[in-house]
Amino acid sequence: FEENKARYGKRRIKAELNNRDYKIGFKKVRRLMKKFNLKAICSRRKYKSYKGTVGKIADNILNRNFVATQPNQKWTTDVTEFSGPFGKAYLSPILDMFNGEVIAWDLSTS
């Protein structure tokens, strides 16, 4: 259990013990884990936000031509999701495509 950084749960511990010729059941493994206060660390599943086409899709006015010949001619925006011990945060900057300057930005938790 300790060798695997607490990543082994009752199923993997049972399988490992059975591989080492110790015949033991799930309930016994569960009782022993509870007795010795062994709790497996579960890794989180990656968040999948794809839900198909939802809402209105803006027209592609720029046609991927992001070069501007003068300031304030083309502005773009995007949303970036950050995840950490504090939870999730979303950053949305507005960029001027002439020089890449950040015109405005917003940071939100929702």
Q: Could you tell me the pTM of the whole model?
A: 0.49
Q: Which amino acid is at 107?
A: L
Given this model, what pLDDT does residue 2 score? 59
Given this model, what pLDDT does residue 4 score? 60
pLDDT tens profile 28-55 = 888 888 888 877 777 777 777 777 777 7
Given this model, what pLDDT does residue 27 score? 86
Helix axes 10-19, 26-35, angle to 10 degrees: 110
Query: First CA to last CA across the chain, in angstroms?
Result: 38
Distance, in Å, from the CA atom of 8 to the CA atom of 30, rounded to the nearest integer, reads 12
Query: How does the average pLDDT of the chain come out, rounded?
Result: 84
CA 41 to chain centre: 17
Q: What stretches of 20-96 show up as alpha helix (H) in DSSP?
A: 26-35
* Strand partners of residue 102: 95
| pLDDT classification of 108: cutoffs 50, 70, 90 | very high
Q: Which amino acid is at 77?
A: T
